[in-house]
Structure 1
Amino acid sequence: MAAKDDLGRVGEQRAAAYLSGLGYEVLDRNWRCPAGEVDIVAARGALLCVVEVKTRTSLRFGHPFEALDDKKVRRLWRLAHAWVEAHPEQAAHSRVRLEAIGIVGPDPRSGALEHLVDLR
């Protein structure tokens, strides 16, 4: 496995633990469909949150959130709707929201973590 893949996996583990600590229930991780992949799907009450995780060792190539352009956000919305359609048992979650977690640092277990709660 490439170092980049390890970095992303560890960053996603930290993000899931962070969300759990805030009271989110992590429902799914690395869910895939023909349209792509969702890093984390979590519930908080009636809210279903689709969370994109971006992990970087430094800001050398820009802040992690800079990768979340309009095209990526539209794709995340399509993936969110595909996840909901594939999981009708989760119908109790009446609203869907996109979120993002960015982690920057040489070790994602201790790097700076930022959480965008409502990605539009």
Structure 2
Amino acid sequence: MNNKEIGKLGEDFTIDFLNKRGFIILERNYKVPLGEVDIIAQKGDLLIFIEVKTRRNLDFGIPAEAVDRTKQTRIKKIAELYISTKKPKFKKIRFDIMSIILSKSGKILDWEYLINAF
């Protein structure tokens, strides 16, 4: 399983997780020249930008730790671009992280959804 497949598996799991909890998925892999946000969702008047980090082991730390200050700043700038371009209706913005650990065979061993992560 390559990194792209691992990422897709994590994003698929996260989309399912969000759908089951009443979130509306607005965008998946929203790309602009500055970068990409994995998932943009809405729940009520809340607009949520979600970064999904999926790993097969903890050799490089907990997946969520990969969303460092630089990545957070980039995601916030992409969020500003999204809002100015798409003009979604919302009252609040939130930035969440889904952190997923997989087995070598691709089975989800553990996950954590971090609300208001940054």
- Do Structure 1 and Structure 2 share a fold, with TM-score over 0.5? yes
**Cα displacement string for residues 52-76 of structure 1 (whole angstroms, at most 9, x for unaligned residues):** 0000011121100111111111111
> One-letter code of the match for 2:84?
E
> One-letter code of the match for 1:97?
R
Mapped pair 1:72 → 2:71: yes
Mapped pair 1:118 → 2:112: no
Q: Number of aligned residue pairs: give it.
A: 117
TM-score by length of 2: 0.92
- Residue in structure 1 matched with residue 62 of structure 2 by the alignment: 63
> One-letter code of the match for 1:46?
D
Counterparts of 1:15 and 1:46, CA distance in 2 = 20
Unaligned runs of 5+ in 2: none
Unaligned runs of 5+ in 1: none
- Residue in structure 2 matched with residue 94 of structure 1 by the alignment: 91
TM-score by length of 1: 0.91
**Cα displacement string for residues 20-49 of structure 1 (whole angstroms, at most 9, x for unaligned residues):** 111111111001011100100000100000
Cα-Cα RMSD: 1.4
Mapped pair 1:17 → 2:19: no
Counterparts of 1:3 and 1:67, CA distance in 2 = 18
